[in-house]
Amino acid sequence: MTKATDTIEIRRPDDWHLHVRDGRAMQDVIVHTAAQFARAIIMPNLKPPVVSAQDAIAYRQRILAALPKEGVASQFQPLMTLYLTDNTPADEVARAKEAGVIGFKLYPAGATTNSDAGVTDIRRCDAVLAQMEKLDVPLLVHGEVTHSEIDVFDREAIFIEKILEPLRQRHPGLRIVFEHITTKQAVEYVRDADTQRFAKIAATVTPQHLLYNRNSIFSGGLRTHYYCLPVLKREEHRQAIVNIVASGNSRFFLGTDSAPHPKGAKESACGCAGCYTAWHAMSLYAEVFEQAGALDKLEGFASIYGPEFYGLPLNQGTLKLRRQTIQIPAEFPFGDEVVVPLRAGETTQWALVE
């Protein structure tokens, strides 16, 4: 047995799925991401959502203005997305591409936080999707069906069959990212997708879906900070996700889905979905890869497969982590309120070396 390593140094990573909200709350959380990641894909589910190239440009400006003025975090690049609606005009795709927007996000209406403006029937978007296919603009998918009669734990698996596969048949050239996958069905679907017949498909993976199964939501009481959407699944699903990322499969890469909500909105009779992981994301991922005996696969997952999929250059700098037990704070400032991170008050084993 070789001695366990005490430092990790990898090419600077990116977060391919992130919520930062807006205004003063955004200023408090963006710094956590910028301390670790060179770039992040910013989700468009604001209220109202980011639906036009113009909205995205303005939101990007607000994010850039919130960054520290010096140091590595000042170099952080937000990569913008647009929120697909039933009414997105097909010519918005060209405007978006021109503005540097990296993709469109599909939220099935009612699937999650601020998704009321989402798509009620994907067939209504055929003209926009055809344009995205033509201009090679990726579609980022929240992969859950929303019908209330479908069990919440089955929504992702049924989405694959009812929505995703038919969508890929209709638009074989469309590049798709299956976001925050939670099931072995999603792992298998993306792993086995035929790239001869279809364009590239990839998936993002969050720290919570690697670290926890659904028991964590109910451990000793109702733990709302472990509630996100898609909801945590059974242990066999968690294991399938760990195994695929530990194998170094390049279709699976890092997307935290860090989704801050004010403490009171989580700890309520109807608590919001979302786990806040931006502060300790890389530490949590390192823990997973180490436990799986696959620390050598962390860099591909965090820093290489994402830019390769999106056709962007790899980052130049590095990120260092040191083995050290650190306490995760109970809460962080979040505008006029506070946000409670995942695993608040407990510890994590890898510290960022500034």
| Residues facing 77 on adjacent strands | 39
What's the rounded Cα separation, in Å, for the pair 55 and 316?
A: 30
| Residues facing 276 on adjacent strands | 341
Residue 343 binding result from Zn ion, ligand DOR, none, given CB thresholds of 5 to 8 Å by partner type? none
Q: Are 183 and 237 in contact (CB under 8 A)?
A: yes
Stretch that binds Zn ion, among 186-194, 214-222, 253-261, 321-329 (CB under 5 A): 253-261
Q: How many residues bind ligand DOR (CB under 6 A)?
A: 10
- Site pattern 200..239 for ligand DOR (x: CB under 6 A): ----------------------------xx----------
Min dist CB 43 to Zn ion, Å, is 5
Residue 117 binding result from Zn ion, ligand DOR, none, given CB thresholds of 5 to 8 Å by partner type? none
What's the rounded Cα separation, in Å, for the pair 340 and 259?
A: 11
Residue 45 binding result from ligand DOR, Zn ion, none, given CB thresholds of 5 to 8 Å by partner type? ligand DOR
Q: Are 274 and 259 in contact (CB under 8 A)?
A: yes
Query: Please, which residue, 144 or 257, has the CB nearer to Zn ion?
Result: 257
Burial class for 312, CB neighbours closer than 10 Å (0-12, 13-18, 19+): middle
Q: Are 241 and 210 in contact (CB under 8 A)?
A: yes
Query: Please, which residue, 36 or 112, has the CB nearer to ligand DOR?
Result: 112
Min dist CB 163 to Zn ion, Å, is 17
Residue 228 binding result from Zn ion, ligand DOR, none, given CB thresholds of 5 to 8 Å by partner type? ligand DOR
- Site pattern 73..112 for ligand DOR (x: CB under 6 A): ---------------------------------------x
Question: Quick check: 277 binds ligand DOR (CB under 6 A)?
Answer: no
Min dist CB 116 to ligand DOR, Å, is 12
Question: Quick check: 273 binds ligand DOR (CB under 6 A)?
Answer: yes
Residues in the chain, total = 354
Distances from the Cα of 99 to the Cα of 80, 81, 111, angstroms: 9, 11, 28
- How is residue 219 annotated by DSSP? S
Stretch that binds Zn ion, among 52-60, 169-177, 204-212, 251-259 (CB under 5 A): 251-259
Question: Quick check: 113 binds ligand DOR (CB under 6 A)?
Answer: yes
Active site residue ranges: 257
CA 301 remoteness from chain centre: 13
Distances from the Cα of 144 to the Cα of 11, 18, 141, 174, angstroms: 33, 18, 9, 19
First to last CA, the chain: 30
CB-based contacts of 13: which residues, under 8 Å, 6+ apart? 36, 37, 38, 254, 282, 302, 303, 315, 319
Query: Please, which residue, 43 or 321, has the CB nearer to ligand DOR?
Result: 43
Min dist CB 95 to ligand DOR, Å, is 25
Residue 113 binding result from Zn ion, ligand DOR, none, given CB thresholds of 5 to 8 Å by partner type? ligand DOR
- Identify the residue among 155, 257, 261, 328 touching Zn ion (CB under 5 A): 257
Question: Quick check: 19 binds ligand DOR (CB under 6 A)?
Answer: yes
Question: Quick check: 259 binds ligand DOR (CB under 6 A)?
Answer: yes
CB-based contacts of 184: which residues, under 8 Å, 6+ apart? 236, 237, 240, 241
List interacting residues with Zn ion (CB under 5 A).
Answer: 257
List interacting residues with ligand DOR (CB under 6 A).
Answer: 19, 45, 112-113, 142, 228-229, 259, 273-274
